[in-house]
Structure 1
Amino acid sequence: MKKFLLIFLLLIVSGSTFAQQYKSHTVAKGENVYRIAKRYNTTPEAIYRINPTAKEGINEGEILAIPITDDQEYNTHVVEKDDTVYSLSKKYNISIETIYLLNPEADKGINIGQILNVGKIVKKDPTAIDAISEKGKESVLDSLKIIPKERKIIRYITHKVKRKETLYGIAKKYKVTVEDIKKNNKRLYAEQIKKKDKIRIPVYEDKPSPGETIKNPTDSRVSATTRYTIKPKDTKYNIARRHGITIAELEKLNPNMNPSFPIGMQITVPTTIFVSLKDSIQPGFELYEVKPKETIFRILQRTGISADSLFKMNPYLRDGLKAGMVITIPKDTLTASTNFDVTKEKYIDLSKNLYNFSPKKVAVMLPFGLDTLNFEARKDTEEFLKSKQSLRIALDLYSGVLIAVDSAKTRGITTELNVFDTQKSNNEEYIKKMMAENDFNETNVVIGPLYQTNLEIVASELKKYNTPVFSPASRKESSLYDNFFQTRPTNVILQDKIISFVEKDSIDKNIVLIVQQGEKHKPIKEKLIAKFPNAKIAKIEEGNYLYEVRLNKVLDKNKPNWVFLESNDVAMISNVIPLLNAKAESHKITLFTTDKNNAFNNDNIKNEHLSKLHMHYPSVDKEFDNKEVEEGEEVSPFVKRYQKEYGVDPNNWAIRGFDITYDILMRLGTADDLYHSASYEGTTEYVENKFNYSKKLLGGYHNSAAYLIKFDDELKLTLVE
């Protein structure tokens, strides 16, 4: 209370040149400064000027002084999936035109998480707003003591829970809150709802509708206006910012405004000045309007400044970046970097642009199979560990996760890690029970499970929270869930990687296709023929065998021969590779495959032959062996750390666990959430894996970043792309 009085005393002493009005506001759960500003039709900057400590964050129950432009408050709505302007107009009983009038930025479309004004709040206490005076100060302080009255329940509705229903969905259906339902069904504070449960839904006494239709433009955000004459160096940006409105609102106030913005022209602006031009823009800085879908990360890259600098200049950005915001940036930084196109950059380093240092809640779900381990019998346990491949993979992945969490901590990103044992594949009943017994509402991301069937179950259960689920191992995508992230490039992406490479330089090449018989290899054969219609196709005999005479017919002595070998049959590969190797003496032959499967690693296939043929293939990771470090070559920091922690070299799964987790934590540190980070244009790379996520038309996100590797001379693996 003392702190609140001090704020008002400072305001009185400062001697404002205009009669500003203020209102007290008690911060509710989940509110941020941006949402509060929307409610009172002011700006985050204006709230920060009156409540400077709010820059460090606000807490539930805290009291803020709110500068206001008119005697009005508005209901706000956080945009959810499937929301449209039309559906919101129906939900809040207001017209579409009203939503656009209250939210000019909605003309460009609405996005999940966006905060909209959705109608006026009918006020009950007109004395709550007073000008800054002794009397006004007492009125505001007295208003803080008002205790909201409980709404009167006139009856109850009994609702029988249906399959896949959630408390949130039920509350939305009956136009009550989740808390209203829990208050009248006490067991729901400790239990999850289940199918066929019967719960009581309160019906409250009717009250005036919170969403009131605005009948004419004078009831809009700006109630009092004045005329302003354009001065030298004035821009739409600084005028809009000075008066606490967006550029779109300024243009709506002045529909016939001359687009050249000449000096001396008069325009209409709000009477109240929120931020003085002198305070808002200093020498060496300029104003910039945030574009639709623009991100903080994108602005940092385009300007070349640090996240700390950007937030120091624009503290309200900690509450989120929105299209139409006018922010301060160093002068000429944007102009100087206009030609910088991040898509031309092969890789992006997220660690240089960290700004979101809130603790990250990460859940890891892997099949440790602890329910089948006999810890009493050490010999049995050791045998079990040796025989259970999924457990070995899970342990290796998890060891990499732990190193990633520790590494991110050194960059200021702290992690709350929760680990869950999924036990086995296709374990629906157990996983649903496990998830029902734990709270995932605040979880930022789930890494795992390992098996596709379990992944689909977890993604389905967490869809209601919009929690991202990252698949660490499976190559199968999900066509059902938008919150599913596929970290391994799919077979199609790997195929396209090498086909694109060959296609770029195939004009003077003799393309040869050697494809295994059978339905399984028919799709890749058709795909290669479609891409290379002039390719020569080697005839494969029954039993997947190639005769030398058949090979001679498709090879060309006068051109480089680029040969695709598509097979997972060890016998066929061990037949074809020696034939090609023998012909390499008289023909220029380069070998390609879209799928270097385990058959190529068989002892019957000599790596010397693959090296001589310079075989090219796509890969999820670099496939370099960290254990064989040549003299003078530096060991990666991850490998050193892993060796120190566990006393052994990391295998591919441990490296993968590190790369996936560290990338996730870096993305969370440079974005509001992982969906936001998926919009980055560029590829991230760590020890042996790289990531470039994009949204599929149906389903979740896939990783399109893959490597192209070739066998070089002396059995060396070389990274081509």
Structure 2
Amino acid sequence: MRTILGILFIVLTFHLNAQNYKTHTVKEGETIEAIAKQYLVTPFDIFALNPDAKSKLQPGSTLIIPNSKVKNEPIPDEFRDLIGYKNHKVKRKETLYSLSKKYGVTEDEIKKANRFLYSENLKKGNRLRIPKYRTIINKQTLSNTVRKYTVLPKEGKWRIAYKFGITAEELESLNPGMNDVIQPGDQLNVPNIKVTEEKAIDTTYQYYEVLPKEGFYRLKVKLGLTQEELETLNPQLKESGLKAGMVLKLPADAESEALGEAIESASLVGKLNNFSTKKIAIMLPFQLNRIDTDSVQETKEMIRDKRLLSVVLDFHAGALMAIDSAKRLGISTDLKVMDTRYQTARTRELLEENDFSEYDAVIGPMNNDAFDRVAKGLKEDRIPVIAALTKPKEVYSNVFQTIPENKLLEKAMLDFVKADSTKNKVVIISDLKHRPISNQLKAEFPAAKQIFSRKAKKSDKDGFFIYPVDLENVFAPGKTIVFLETDSNALASSVISMLNGLVIEDIEIVLVTLDKNKAFEGKNIDNNHLSNLKFHYASVNRDFEESTSKSFEKAYRKMYRVSPSKYACRGFDVTLDVLMRLAAGEDLYEASTSDIATEHIENKFRYNKSLFGGYTNEALYIVKYDDLKIVKAN
């Protein structure tokens, strides 16, 4: 019997070779995706010839691997080999563009060889290293399993991956030099399938890339779609199941954000399992070079008068307390504090002087240009960089933006009002600058009454006031929601005062805003009036509440003899959150999926990864004034 099977296998192998196929013996731990990548074919090609592999892949079993389905010409594979540098002293009127043309290199190649050019302009007298390259061209057939594809308008990585039945990661593997953002006309290597086998892209649908460890339950919470609904839109799911990197087709109206109320705020204390020492860098602008250590009084005055230094010291104090708290949980930290001096040039020096390849995370810097330089510099090594106090200019794949976007705050406040079934009426008051916002709110609440600030006398400019008569007969018994949209303290204070005078026994007025800015603060704003109007707004952090963080306040006061500021609380929250996530997974990326929500003293965190960018915190609070306190609104 074995002899017959052996003869059949030989005959089958000969037949397959005659038909331009290969065979592969499965090794321990190999997956279909890895094997497909090795032979530059798609998993679907392998499943077509090996249907049993869908259910079980046995080590030692033999797979039939197809070669090309459509013949293609050899693909030129061109690359440039760095062979040295030429020195150049910059002359008057020379630019990066003129130098790139003169030496036949790109501006980016010159910058990479002279890193200071990322933060400084080219100047006469600068001494540059100009890279010299030689171009090498090889022609590869790549076993005739890939072909060139020209990117069409509106096509991104996910659409192309979906079209050819591969993951975005597999597309990147086929194109090592592919840009993060591809452009129409770019030439990409894609699986060499027939045009008739390409999946059609329907612009009436959304497309979504499955993240690591996402199952059908997580997608139900995140997208609002059941397993059956996803399988109907994506039939291949019934055979292959969910896999990281897979691109799914979704309805156009699918919710693309993880809903905060659908995910419980989870504590990571019970999930800590990685207790290796965490190597962390904190980059802050202490500006120690400006401090005279011989003058204690002068140093105290500088700390008191310099707001930036005060913020930095408070954040650092909170971070140190977080490290101490983490230590009690069994998490050890190797911390290095670096002074950026609020200078991009100094930040560049820190990057050059230190090896960050073994760091688990870098918190900071505060300066946007410096942060961008650090994030870009550490992107290749996938070192997480945490934007703790500012919003970065660009959220690279290794960036964690801890401050939610303004649009998310606006949407949360809008959804909160929409969900209030007890409201009888909506009124929108705004200055002339915020007329577009007022009109957007009117579209959301068609029955709402709009009131705009009056123009100044003998002028077309906004006077930032309304008359009391503008509010006459506006409020009826019951609950009225009033949106106040302005950045004028004069308009805000006068409207708040007038609304407060209209609150009587059977008339309830609730004041809200989409943008809680400085117009709602200061000596002209009466907090008693805000409490009477139950002023609501969306906030990145809740104001300090002794009842919820008494132990932290007590420990902080004992150590520093003052109450913690919001920057001290943020330093504590950001640092502790990073350390706990690092201890709950292999790295920060694994422990920052969208279903993991945490909450500490004043801040909470739930990160959502963009398709080709980094991680943005989408957790926020709806708060309100209540009895002269700011509390969480229900």
Alignment of 1:10-21 (within 5 A): none
Q: Distance in 1 between matches of 2:260 and 2:438?
A: 36
Q: Residue 507 of structure 1: CA displacement?
A: 7.7
Q: CA deviation at 1:703?
A: 1.2
Ranges of 4+ aligned residues in structure 1 off by more than 6 Å: 211-215, 322-325
Other-structure match for 2:481: 562
> Following the alignment from structure 1 to structure 2, what is the Cα–Cα distance between the partners of residues 482 and 292?
13
1:389-429 deviations in whole A, cap 9, x for unaligned?
111111111111111111111112111111111112xx333
- Please list every run of 5 or more consecutive structure 1 residues that lacks an aligned counterpart in the other structure: 1-38, 44-73, 109-116, 120-155, 171-193, 204-208, 216-290, 300-321, 326-340, 627-632
- Deviation at residue 379 of structure 1 after TM alignment: 2.7
Contact 1:622–1:709 (8 Å) recurs in 2:
yes
**Pairs within 5 Å for 1:411-426:** 411-424=329-342
Instruction: After superposition, give the CA deviation of every residue in 1:244-290 in whole Å (9 maximum; x if it has no partner).
Output: xxxxxxxxxxxxxxxxxxxxxxxxxxxxxxxxxxxxxxxxxxxxxxx
2:527 maps to 1:607: yes
AA partner of residue 447 (structure 2): N
- CA pair 530-483 structure 1, distance change in 2 beyond 3 A: farther
What CA deviation, in whole Å up to 9, does each residue of 1:682-719 have, x standing for no partner? Answer: 4210111111110234642211111111122x323331
Q: TM-score, normalised by structure 1?
A: 0.54
Alpha-carbon distance between aligned partners in 1 of 2:368 and 2:82, rounded to the nearest angstrom: 40
The one-letter code matched in structure 1 to 2:513 is T
Match of 1:510 among 416, 419, 425: 425
The question of whether the paired residues in 2 share the 8 Å contact of 1:350 and 1:670 is answered with: yes
CA contact (8 A) 1:360 1:415 kept: yes
Among 493, 498, 502, the residue aligned to 2:408: 493
Residue type of the partner of 2:83? T
Which residue does 2:178 correspond to in 1? none
Q: Kindly tell me: are residues 196 and 40 of structure 1, through their superposed partners in 2, closer, same or farther at Cα, counting changes over 3 Å?
A: farther
1:140-199 deviation digits (Å, cap 9, x = unpaired): xxxxxxxxxxxxxxxx97245976569xx99xxxxxxxxxxxxxxxxxxxxxxx973668
Q: From the superposition, tell whether residues 98 and 376 of structure 1 become closer, same or farther in structure 2 (CA, over 3 Å).
A: same
- Which residue pairs with 1:667 in the alignment? 581
Instruction: Spell out, residue by residue over 1:34-75, the C-alpha distance to the aligned partner (whole angstroms, 9 max, x if none).
Output: xxxxx99225xxxxxxxxxxxxxxxxxxxxxxxxxxxxxx9x
SS of 1:596's partner is coil
Select between 156-165 and 562-571 the one with higher mean Cα deviation: 156-165
Q: 2:539 aligns with which of 604, 619, 623?
A: 619
Residue 527 of structure 1 deviates from its aligned partner by 3.1
For residue 294 of structure 1, what is the aligned residue in structure 2? 213
Q: Summarize deviations over 1:3-29 as a string: whole Å, max 9, x none.
A: xxxxxxxxxxxxxxxxxxxxxxxxxxx
Amino acid at match of 2:388: P
Matched, 1:468 2:384: yes
Query: SS of the residue aligned with 1:512?
Result: strand
* Matched residue type, 1:578: S
Q: What are the residue-to-residue correspondences of 1:106-125 with 2, within 5 Å?
A: none
Q: Distance in 1 between matches of 2:571 and 2:535?
A: 28
Measure, in 2, the Cα distance between the counterparts of 1:617 and 1:480. 26
Superposed, which structure 2 residues align to 1:21-60 within 5 Å? 41-43=27-29
Match of 2:324 in 1: 406
2:516 aligned to which of 596, 616, 622: 596
Q: Secondary structure at the match of 1:589?
A: strand
Percent identity reads: 34
Query: Structure 1 residues 342 and 573 mapped into 2: Cα distance closer, same or farther (>3 Å)?
Result: closer
**Which entry has the higher C-alpha Rg, 1 or 2?**
1
Deviation at 1:346, TM superposition (A): 2.4
Contact kept? 2:431, 2:452, Cα under 8 Å: no
SS of match in other structure, 2:294: coil
Structure 1 residues 643-685: Cα deviation after superposition (integer angstroms, max 9, x where no partner): 3332322111101101011111111111222222221414210
C-alpha separation in 2, matches of 1:100 and 1:644: 67
Distance 1:676 1:544, change over 3 A: same
C-alpha displacement of 1:467: 1.6
- Equivalences for 1:128-143 in 2 at 5 Å? none
2:314 equivalent in structure 1: 396
Distance 1:214 1:562 in 2: 66
Deviation at 1:559, TM superposition (A): 4.0
User: What's the CA shift string for 1:476-523, capped at 9, x where partnerless?
Assistant: 3544522221111222222112111001125852110111222xx345
**1:324 to 1:678, Cα distance in 2 relative to 1, 3 A:** closer
Query: Partners in 2 of 1:668 and 1:384 — Cα distance?
Result: 36
Specify the alignment match of 2:118 in structure 1. none
How far 1:452 sits from its partner (Å)? Answer: 2.1
Q: In the alignment, what sits opposite 2:129?
A: 196
Change (3 A) 1:369 1:537: same
Mapped to 2, the partners of 1:690 and 1:98 lie a distance apart of 40
CA distance in 2, matches of 1:538, 1:623: 31
Q: 1:353 aligns with which of 271, 286, 293?
A: 271
**Contact between 1:514 and 1:565, CA under 8 Å: does it hold in 2?**
yes
**1:463–1:577 distance in 2 versus 1, CA, 3 Å:** same
Q: Residue 430 in 1 paired to residue 346 in 2?
A: yes
Query: In the TM superposition, what whole-angstrom CA distance separates every residue of 1:515-534 from its partner, at most 9, and x where no partner exists?
Result: 1222xx34532432232222
Deviation at 1:354, TM superposition (A): 0.8
SS at match of 2:83: strand
Contact preservation (8 Å) 2:426, 2:482: yes
Structure 2: how far apart are the matches of 1:544 and 1:698?
A: 43
CA deviation after TM superposition for structure 1 residue 384, in Å: 1.7
SS in 2 for 1:465: coil
The one-character-per-residue Cα deviations of 1:193-219 (angstroms, maximum 9, x if unpaired) are x97366899x9xxxxx9x99799xxxx
